Amino acid sequence: MAAANTGDEIASRSKGISVILLELGVASFGQDDGLIASKKFDKPIQSYRLVKSGAMSEDIRPFVERLRPLGIVKVNDASLAAVLRNSGITISLMSEEQQKSIQDTKPSQIVKAGFAKNEQEAMLALRDFAIELSSSRVKEASERLDLHITKSINALDELDKIINTVGTRMREWYGLHFPELDNLVQSLVAYAEIVSRSGMRQNITKETLEAAGMQDKKSDVILDAARRSKGGDITPENLAIIQRLADQVIAQSDLRRILSDHIETTMESVAPNVKELLTAAVGARLIAKAGSLTRLAVLPASTIQVLGAEKALFRALKTGSRPPKHGLLFQHPLIHSAPKWQRGKIARAVASKVAIAARIDYYRHNGTDASISEKLNSRLAEIREKYKEPVPEKERDRKYREHAQRQGSFGRPGQDRGSENRFRRDKKKGRKRFGKRRH
Amino acid sequence: MENEGIRWLTVGGQKNVATLNLVKGDSVYGEKLVYQDGDEYRLWDPFRSKLAGSLKKGLKKMPIREGTKVLYLGASTGTTVSHVSDIVGNTGIVFAVEPSARVVRELIENVASKRRNVVPINEDARRPQTYFSVFGKVDVVYCDIAQPDQTEIAMLNCDKYLKEGGIMLLVVKTQSIDVTRDPSAVVSQEAKKLEKAGFRIEQILNLEPFDKDHAMIYCVK
């Protein structure tokens, strides 16, 4: 090994002892490249990861002790260097060239350290190590709670669709037999309860209605309607199927409630601040859209603001039309209930607070921080005060055009698009593609 | 193409690329197995694999052959990786880098656990210094990642792991780099970046109709 540049020269002149971290263990070599000491990890995956995270692994402690009298040692890995430094050993990090040359000859280093009989065996050991390490990471990643939030909220949205589809079909079908009920009972679940408990309209009684959660007055109206119904008779076979559908609606709604409670509690423990700002459902959808809480915590507020509005955003980037004001955040009551002209401003304010909240949740893990919503509320009051009245459309367009000119071409210099173009919203610019399009 | 592992087979009147199956009887992602002259081949779908697409579009030289050492960035679930593993055979090796744990799971299950020449590395290609179990310089770097700075990432990896005179196959995903610009302009911009960094560009292929707005750059370090 060629000792190379400046900083390391002192170290190489002192003793020239090198310490090398390998996947299978640690080894130290003398100046003549002879092995001084080595220690194979007892459990390579755990020990390697511990050392890589800068912590001492117990199984190499005796090895480290043996290094102590040797003076300054050269180390090939920054994390191992930190571990040794913490144990009071003076180290110098190898130059990049030296690190590379060790990496290039890794199998032979493993053989020299006595961790494998020959290079062939060393390479196989390295491969097994790679599979095992990757597998353990996959396992860890699958245990992360924010991934479970993603799955939960997606399941919730799908359940909603299923309940709606099946429920509407049940309503339509039972409607052939008892059409008047459709207008009398709004809730899908209540309707399903009546169908499930009573069956044919002739069998609807005060008791079954009460069990289905109907009020006294409502029950009378329904009973009256049932007596005078214009609906046709229904065969027991058809009715049985409709009742099974109704049971499905009830069961799925039950599951939906459990799932929604579950999201509530998981969000409380994983991302309390995001939940505080957005409610559990919207917060969970945002995490799902970002991919994970980790990702959400590193996204800029401007991206959070338009998460879920990708189509509109990319259309805006391509054609120069107006960018979207909000994506998923629109589901937040603060935004969709606000006057139209305030929504963009509120969405921006909320997004910037969500960005901070996600970071606190991910990095600090320490309950809710009241100051976020306080600041948001004072900003919201400001917006409501300042923008009570909508800006006239003409003036708004003029302001936007001025802003666009100041900004150049949407933050993309060097692209000639012309600012007046961005107002021809519907006229898409034809794009030249390379090659002939066959599909 | 004088390459032991790759063969052009005519199946159902169509000329198809196929690779000699390293693991007999094993179909990795549901591809068809074809027997010819007593050997088993796996058909290689150009619509699913950009490398097969490049071969069909007329890649001049196939740098991956028996015994080649490959660093594969963006391995995903291992569709293309499995074919590369077929080609390099037991004397070659494929280091397959993939950051997402979800797809690494499938990469390990379907490919790495059955093929001794595939080493799965669950790391971000942005930080090549964190790769574990990689040894020595590689002959070929294959890069197929959907990131705006994919070319820079590829060059960073070449700098650390590709030998002098080694070859890089870079899949340029123009839509990941910049959706607003003309795809051919993006390709030539990326090609310029490579040349500036000292790569010699041998060939640029447009991957239509297999993948739209994608190009393959063949370059030498």
Q: What are B69-125's pLDDT values in tens digits?
A: 999 999 999 899 999 999 998 889 999 999 988 899 999 999 998 898 999 999 999
Q: How far is A315 from chain B (nearest CA, A)?
A: 9
For residues A212 and A195, what is the distance between their CA atoms, to the nearest angstrom? 9
Q: Give residue-wise pLDDT tens across range B59-68.
A: 888 899 888 9
Is the pLDDT score of A10 beyond 70? no
User: Whose CA is closest to A275, among A372, A152, A170?
Assistant: A372
Chain A interface residues (partner B, CB cutoff 8 A): 23, 48, 100, 103-107, 123-124, 126-127, 129-131, 133-135, 137-138, 140-142, 314, 317-318, 412, 415, 431-439
Give, as one character, the DSSP assignment of residue A367: S
- Better-predicted residue by pLDDT, A410 or A246: A246
Question: Sheet of B6-11: strands edge to edge?
Answer: B6-11, B14-20, B39-44, B33-36
ipTM (interface predicted TM): 0.86
Confidence of residue A153 (pLDDT cuts 50, 70, 90): very high
CB half-sphere exposure, A36, CA atoms < 13 A: 23
How many A/B residue pairs have CB atoms within 8 Å? 98
What residues contact residue A401 under an 8 Å CB cut-off, 6+ apart? Answer: A419, A420, A423
A chain contacts of residue B212, beta-carbon cutoff 8 Å:
433, 437, 439
Token pair 């030998």 is found at B163
B chain contacts of residue A415, beta-carbon cutoff 8 Å:
180-181
CB-CB contact of B10 with B16 (8 Å): yes
For residues A160 and A156, what is the distance between their CA atoms, to the nearest angstrom? 6
Closest residue in B to A315 (Cα) is B180
Contacts for A252-257: CB closer than 8 Å, 24+ residues apart: A252/A159, A252/A162, A252/A163, A252/A166, A253/A163, A253/A188, A253/A189, A253/A192, A255/A159, A256/A156, A256/A159, A256/A160, A256/A163
CB half-sphere exposure, B123, CA atoms < 13 A: 23
* Helix ranges, B110-173 (H): 150-161
For residues B82 and B112, what is the distance between their CA atoms, to the nearest angstrom? 9
Q: Give residue-wise pLDDT tens across range A119-149.
A: 888 888 889 899 999 999 888 888 888 889 9
pLDDT at A15: 57
Q: At A114, phi and psi to the nearest 5?
A: 85, 20
What is the pLDDT averaged over residues A101-116? 85
CB-CB contact of A376 with A350 (8 Å): yes
- Residue B210, both tokens: 């297999």
pLDDT at A425: 40
User: For testing the chain A interface, which of B135, B188, B189, B212 should be mutated: the one with the most A CBs within 10 Å?
Assistant: B135
User: Helix (H, G, I), strand (E, B), or coil: what is residue A88?
Assistant: coil
CB-CB contact of A246 with A192 (8 Å): yes
**Which string of DSSP letters, residue by residue, matches A101-164?**
HHHHTHHHHHHHTTS-SSHHHHHHHHHHHHHHHHHHHHHHHHT-HHHHHHHHHHHHHHHHHHHH
Nearest to B183 among A104, A106, A433 (CB): A433
**Which string of DSSP letters, residue by residue, matches A22-45?**
-SSEEEEE-TTS-EEEEEE-SSHH
Q: Give residue-wise pLDDT tens across range A401-435.
A: 887 777 765 544 434 444 434 444 444 444 444 44
Put simply, the answer to whether A127 touches B137 (Cβ < 8 Å) is no
Q: How far is B34 from chain A (nearest CA, A)?
A: 29
Put simply, the answer to whether B104 touches A134 (Cβ < 8 Å) is yes
pLDDT at A193: 93
